[in-house]
Amino acid sequence: MTLEEGLDASNLSSHHGNHHHHHLMDWLEDSISFLPTFPNELYSVPEEIAHCQWWVQDQNQPLTAAAAVAAVAEAPSIAIVTAKPEPLPEMPKAELPKKRKLAARQTAGVFEEDRKPQVNNGSKKGHGRGSMSNSGSGGGASKEVRWAEQLLNPLAAAIDAANLYRAQHLICVLQELASPTGDANHRLAFYGLQVLSRNFTSSLSSPLNYASTDPRLFRSALIKFHEVSAWFAFPNCLANAAILQAMGGRAGPVRSGSLHVVDVGVSHGLQWPTLMEALTRRGMGLVGQGMVKLTVVETGSGGPFGSAPAGYDFVPQLMRYGRSIDLNLRVERGEVGRGPGKETVVVCLQFRAGRVGPGFWKAVREMEPDLLVLTEMEEGRGRGEGKGFARRAEMLWGFLESTSVAFKGRDSEERRVVEGEAARLLEEEGEEGEGWGNERWKEKMEGEGFKEEGFGEEAVEAGRALLKKYDGNWEMKIATDGAVGLSWKGQSVSFCSLWKPAYKTTAGVLSSGGRRH
């Protein structure tokens, strides 16, 4: 049996019968009573910054993105203004929604992304070995088409320079074009305007995100996003494949003893049912034949995708599913540490490496894991104004464009939850210049006493097979150092790499101190 079969949830029923299939579907598709529909309110700018006397146009003509970008480019860069200029009569508030809709319709014919997915003909484009660095401007669209960034980046620069007058100008333009239900440009303008306007007022409400939603809708959003997008499904697949690889690979029996997975990630439990099923198929972790232990390490709520709503707990569902497939499973929440006895230890560190505390790396190194799986965003170099904001806006653009394709342009509560959570990326405080990517994390890991390992062919094939289920704009790239990258329309999104201790330590065994379930 191949690994891609072992990791494909669609094949589970053929191996474990209707009983096990029923329980897995319970995990994936429990009935959900949704909250009332998230209010579709258009963005409004606070009164104190709503005066836009510079923007004079024919009130019968809708504002287009092209005209807005051209006007901003031609507008002089005004010095810092300490006194509020006398405002001209502002546009009636009642007319804003109508004008915004007209602008969106007129803009769509020129700027809206092509939502037709590329046909995946099975070619291996992008699967060859080489660098995972970003190519082109990224995101699959020219800078001329990506007008939201051309307005948001100057706004971020104006705010950074305390140029209130220019910031007012840009905010007024953006409020005409921003929408939480348009294409990637309109959505990026909406989320960017939400974040940047908080420099002027604290009264704005945040978009729907992981922490603010209902646990049932949160779980539904996780499942739906995993189903339609490779953003997290692909690195989850690679991590699971690497864990199976550490337990013995394709040939021969798996290792004896227990498997201990330390979960430091953002899957919120969704990653593990498929791995659990694959382990039981290989005879690992069955009652009386070893144990599978999962330690969930909390890293705080900072950054996108790490938060969860109050009351959400995936442990009971995992335990129930483990019992249904006769898996000897134990789940605990605790700290990094190797338990007593013989066990294969795998640390799964996904999208949280920059959030761990100062003692994390020392604790991981001292526990001497058999394998560490590192997955992180592949951050490109910021271009244009706004310092780190430009880089973060570029990353969010790729996310919003890919979700538009994934959801086929249709709006839903699940889509709003994941996009609102992704927009938290714009709130990050980032450094100017190049962000953290594969090369910088490679230096970090080597400095912490780890050496890089390559993925086995079985794991690579599992990742390649998974991508065939998603839009053809997703590509897999394998770097010369062995890391596997995920890209969207040629723009690097994330990378996954494997690490092992470069030498033995003399530290004693650490106690996990976890709470057992």
Helix ranges restricted to H, 298-456: 315-324, 360-367, 388-406, 413-422, 438-447
Same domain for 492 and 405? Answer: no
Same domain for 242 and 294? Answer: yes
Same domain for 376 and 387? Answer: no
pTM of the model: 0.74
Distances (CA, A) of 124 to 74, 130, 335: 45, 13, 41
Whether residue 111 lies inside any domain: the answer is no
User: Measured at the alpha carbon of residue 305, what is the angle toward residues 309 and 119, in degrees to the nearest 5?
Assistant: 125
Whether residue 4 lies inside any domain: the answer is no
Whether residue 128 lies inside any domain: the answer is no
Whether residue 216 lies inside any domain: the answer is no
List the domain range (segments joined by +) for residue 358: 229-380+435-501
Q: What tokens appear for 435 in the block?
A: 């962000």
CA distance 224 to 114: 22
Q: What tokens appear for 368 in the block?
A: 């001497």
Same domain for 301 and 388? Answer: no
Whether residue 211 lies inside any domain: the answer is no
Number of domains into which the chain is organized: 2
The answer for residues whose C-beta is within 8 angstroms of residue 60's C-beta and 6 or more apart is none
Element (H, E) at 372: strand 371-377
Same domain for 309 and 448? Answer: yes
Same domain for 365 and 473? Answer: yes
Return the axis-axis angle of helices 147-160 and 388-406, rounded to nearest 10°. Answer: 150
Same domain for 358 and 406? Answer: no
Q: Three-state SS for 488?
A: strand
Element (H, E) at 279: helix 272-281
Whether residue 199 lies inside any domain: the answer is yes
Same domain for 167 and 184? Answer: yes
pLDDT digits (tens), the chain, 517 positions: 444 444 443 343 334 444 444 444 444 444 333 222 323 333 343 443 344 444 444 445 555 666 666 555 555 443 333 334 333 233 333 333 444 444 434 333 323 333 333 434 333 334 433 445 443 344 445 555 889 999 999 999 999 899 999 999 999 999 999 999 989 999 999 999 999 988 776 666 778 889 999 999 999 999 999 999 999 999 999 999 999 988 875 544 455 568 999 999 999 999 999 999 999 888 876 666 778 999 999 877 678 999 999 999 999 999 999 999 999 999 999 888 777 678 899 999 999 988 887 789 999 998 899 999 999 998 754 333 445 888 899 999 999 999 999 999 999 999 999 999 999 999 876 554 455 778 889 989 999 999 999 999 999 999 999 999 999 999 999 988 889 999 999 989 999 999 999 887 655 443 334 444 4
User: Measured at the alpha carbon of residue 147, what is the angle toward residues 72 and 53, in degrees to the nearest 5?
Assistant: 30
Q: What tokens appear for 269 in the block?
A: 């439990």
Q: What tokens appear for 477 in the block?
A: 């790239």
Same domain for 388 and 268? Answer: no
Same domain for 159 and 184? Answer: yes
CA distance 347 to 160: 39
CA distance 13 to 24: 9
Question: CA Rg, the chain, in Å?
Answer: 25
Distances (CA, A) of 298 to 349, 359, 510: 11, 14, 17
Whether residue 7 lies inside any domain: the answer is no
Whether residue 91 lies inside any domain: the answer is no
The answer for residues whose C-beta is within 8 angstroms of residue 31's C-beta and 6 or more apart is none
Same domain for 352 and 242? Answer: yes
Q: What is the CATH number of the domain that holds 254?
A: 3.40.50
Same domain for 304 and 448? Answer: yes
DSSP character string of 185-239: HHHHHHHHHHHHHTTT-S-PPPPP-TTTS-HHHHHHHHHHHHHH-HHHHHHHHHH
Last residue of a domain, one of 372, 399, 431: 431
Q: What are phi and psi of 476, to 5 degrees?
A: -110, 135
